[in-house]
Amino acid sequence: MVSLSLPGIIDAHVHLRDPGATHKEDAYSGTVAALAGGIIGVLDMPNNTPPTVDRRTFLQKREILKRKAVSDYGLFLGYDGRSIAPLLELSGQAVGLKLYLDETFGDLTTEEPESLASAFEAWPGPGPIAVHVEDAAQPPESDSIDVALTLAHRYDQPLHVCHVPHPDDLLRIERARQQGVRVTCEVTPHHLFLSTNDLPRLGAYGQMKPPLISPADVARFWQRLDLVDIIATDHAPHTRAEKESTDPPPGVPGLETMLPLLLRAVDEERLTLERMLELTYHNPLQIYGLRPPEDSGVEVEMGARYRLPAGGYQTRCGWSPFAGQWAMGRVLRVRLRGQVVWEEGRVLVQPGYGRALARG
Ligand SMILES: [Zn+2]
């Protein structure tokens, strides 16, 4: 059997749900799922309960990761529109500042233009400002991507647009780049491998923010992948019971399925292996200014194509919206800082082996 050696994946967008919703996932189960998916480092978002927006909540979360993580990690700082002080005090310890310009899961939305502007003005870096924006239902001038691009331009802040909602937005981001805005962007596997065609079958299991797009728009994302900097999972687990409730929360898991889906796309020659590693390893490290963990890598067994299973995942939520999709490659072994941490479906290190990714 042919095996493939990769440097490992850095997933720049995950929600490990710890603290606040550990029945969905916690820092241990989430980082085990990461290793199972060939991911050696995850960047965790701040919309926890309580949100990671000040010294107390940031240090509490860092302590949780330090105790439980088995992959490496970085933490985003959030901003709740109240105090600027934590942005100044904690910026060097966070991988970046995450701003929610549109409502999503959790209660951390900053829509007021003034507090948004003050965050863009105050953020001292070195990480970028990462934004959650939804597609424009309104005229372009009131749309949140434009708001973010304008503020990044005005305050000369590096901006990262998370999970770009629609291929048209890629073109707007590209125009902003041409005007000198320092902006990078990411797309998710669910916007590349699922579409609105899957919604009748998936129901609430296909609901996330931003929502799935049409097959034609998915094809346009693939055509303009040259404008994309990062592919990140936006791993956002919810239990089956929650998804089957009358008010299902948005979000899908993705840590264990991104690499095999992308390797299938490589096999189909929709992107090269080199480009896949740019999007999932080199660029995330570079954009967030992080150093790759030394002596680390992932060995993938490349056999025949197979269909992703409906169960048997490490993520606590236990399901995948990609079940049934064709995939390539199985993660055989993961080495992290000189140690084999994952082999043949088992974690080989204790909770707490994972470390904060160092600044490059
Ligand atoms: Zn997210």
User: With 80 as the cut, is the pLDDT of residue 113 above it?
Assistant: no
Per-residue confidence (pLDDT) for residue 1, from 0 to 100 = 72
User: With 60 as the cut, is the pLDDT of residue 206 above it?
Assistant: yes
User: With 90 as the cut, is the pLDDT of residue 103 above it?
Assistant: no
> What is the 8 CA–ligand 1 centroid distance (Å)?
21
CA separation for the pair 87, 329 (Å, rounded): 41
> What is the 71 CA–ligand 1 centroid distance (Å)?
19
User: With 50 as the cut, is the pLDDT of residue 320 above it?
Assistant: yes
CA separation for the pair 283, 184 (Å, rounded): 10
User: With 50 as the cut, is the pLDDT of residue 140 above it?
Assistant: no
> What is the 62 CA–ligand 1 centroid distance (Å)?
19
> What is the 2 CA–ligand 1 centroid distance (Å)?
35
pTM of the model: 0.96
The residue behind tokens 């009748």 is: 200
User: With 60 as the cut, is the pLDDT of residue 104 above it?
Assistant: no
> What is the 13 CA–ligand 1 centroid distance (Å)?
6
> What is the 234 CA–ligand 1 centroid distance (Å)?
5
Burial grade of 128 (CB within 10 A; 0-12, 13-18, 19 or more)? buried
Per-residue confidence (pLDDT) for residue 7, from 0 to 100 = 98
User: With 70 as the cut, is the pLDDT of residue 135 above it?
Assistant: no
Per-residue confidence (pLDDT) for residue 44, from 0 to 100 = 98
Identify the band that residue 144 occupies on the pLDDT scale cut at 50, 70 and 90: confident
For the chain, what is the mean pLDDT?
Answer: 94
> What is the 15 CA–ligand 1 centroid distance (Å)?
6
Burial grade of 217 (CB within 10 A; 0-12, 13-18, 19 or more)? middle
The residue behind tokens 């990761």 is: 65
> What is the 310 CA–ligand 1 centroid distance (Å)?
23
Compute how many other C-beta atoms are within 10 angstroms of the C-beta atom of residue 103. Answer: 14
Give the type of residue at 230. Answer: I
User: With 90 as the cut, is the pLDDT of residue 142 above it?
Assistant: no
C-alpha dihedral (290, 296, 302, 308), degrees to nearest 10:
-60
Per-residue confidence (pLDDT) for residue 101, from 0 to 100 = 86
| 345-358 per-position pLDDT tens digit | 999 999 999 999 99
Identify the band that residue 115 occupies on the pLDDT scale cut at 50, 70 and 90: confident
Phi, psi of 209 (to 5 degrees): -120, 130
Q: What is the mean pLDDT of residues 47-66?
A: 97
User: With 60 as the cut, is the pLDDT of residue 107 above it?
Assistant: no
Per-residue confidence (pLDDT) for residue 59, from 0 to 100 = 98
Q: What is the DSSP letter of 196?
A: G
